[in-house]
Amino acid sequence: MELFPKFKERGVKEIEMVEGMKKSIVALCEQMKGNLEAGAYDAIISDEGGGRIPTLLISEIYKQASKKKFPTLFVASGMGYGPNNENDETTLLEYLRKGIPEAKKVLLVTQYLRTGKSTNHLIEYLRKHGVEHVEIATLESGGPAFEGSDADVVYKGGTLDTRQGNFAENHSLLSGIAKSKAYDPMPIRLDKALDTGNVERTRLMDFSEHKDFIGHETQDSVVEIGEKTRAATSKYEELAATPLTADEKRDIQENINRTRATIKKLAKEIVAEVW
């Protein structure tokens, strides 16, 4: 059986989505320039998982602009993902205590800010931990959703480059990071998530891969597509249960390395442009 997703091919093709962040990040840095060069933030927090790549980029820029040592903490969160009980709350607060023990002013980086509910949930626990001032940097710009944010300041990115495409659907493949099914504030590596059943292969496939997998032809009618999809149910189950090969694990690591190299290149370009 042919294996999907195509980690290597997708990683090479979709790296331009990271490059497509440049305009938004430049717009954010121009707004935050004073704070960045003054080293005003005690820590940078990532709203995982879509926030990881922009967080890594802003952290690299902050390091170059401020020459300051600071922690960057990656917190698994998002719509519908957060503490569900007292034990989960204790786990999150302990994770914050270890990761940003003395932080009073932080920058929370997120990919999108819609209703503000998911970031507000995280802000609630940041304040319980002892953080006094929270600023948000979001790639998304405009819209009434920002009015619902509990952050002290919200910085909005500019118009997103069309190359950013379906970044929301591809960030795990590019960053090599995923979230556990059961709540855990610490993100896990994508290869481990796949090996342990926290993420299934089929959830990482893009539209074209699904078409190839079920044998969809351009001339197929809606009825024929539905029939082929239903007929492929057992194949999907078999694919989801297939362990990663050594080559696939290598490809996942190469995607991580490629993304990190792109982040460093972009950070250098942005610092030169803004400063």
* pLDDT for position 50: 84
**Beta strand pairing call for 133-138 and 72-76:** unpaired
Of 205, 147, 197, 143, nearest in space to 172 by CA: 205
Say if residue 163's pLDDT is above 50.
no
Residue 13: C-alpha distances to residues 104, 173, 256 (Å): 40, 11, 14
Instruction: List pLDDT tens digits, range 173-208.
Output: 999 999 999 999 999 999 999 999 999 999 999 988
| Omega before 187 within 30 of 0, i.e. cis | no
The count of residues in the chain is: 275
Amino acid in position 10? R
Of 126, 147, 150, 117, nearest in space to 136 by CA: 150
Among the ranges given (27-31, 152-156, 249-253), the one the predictor scored with the smallest mean pLDDT: 152-156
In the chain, the domains with their CATH numbers are 7-197+246-268 (3.40.50), 201-240 (no CATH)
The full 3-state SS of 157-205, as one line of letters, equals CCCCCHHHCCHHHHHHHHHCEECCCCCCCCCEEHHHHHHCCCCCHHHHC
pLDDT average, residue stretch 104-109? 98
* pLDDT for position 49: 79
**Tokens for 135?**
């600023």
pLDDT average, residue stretch 107-122? 87
**Beta strand pairing call for 188-189 and 133-138:** unpaired
Mean of pLDDT over the chain? 90
Residue position matching structure tokens 């990683």: 11
Of 51, 57, 69, nearest in space to 32 by CA: 57
In this prediction the pTM is 0.91
**Beta strand pairing call for 43-48 and 72-76:** parallel
**CA atoms of 55 and 102, how far apart (whole Å):** 20
* pLDDT for position 167: 60
3-state secondary structure of 74: strand
**CA atoms of 200 and 181, how far apart (whole Å):** 11
Say if residue 8's pLDDT is above 60.
yes
Among the ranges given (25-29, 40-44, 119-123, 147-151), the one the predictor scored with the smallest mean pLDDT: 147-151
3-state secondary structure of 224: helix
**DSSP assignment of 80-138:** T-S--SHHHHHHHHHHHHHHSTT-SEEEEEES--SSSHHHHHHHHHHHHHT--EEEEEE
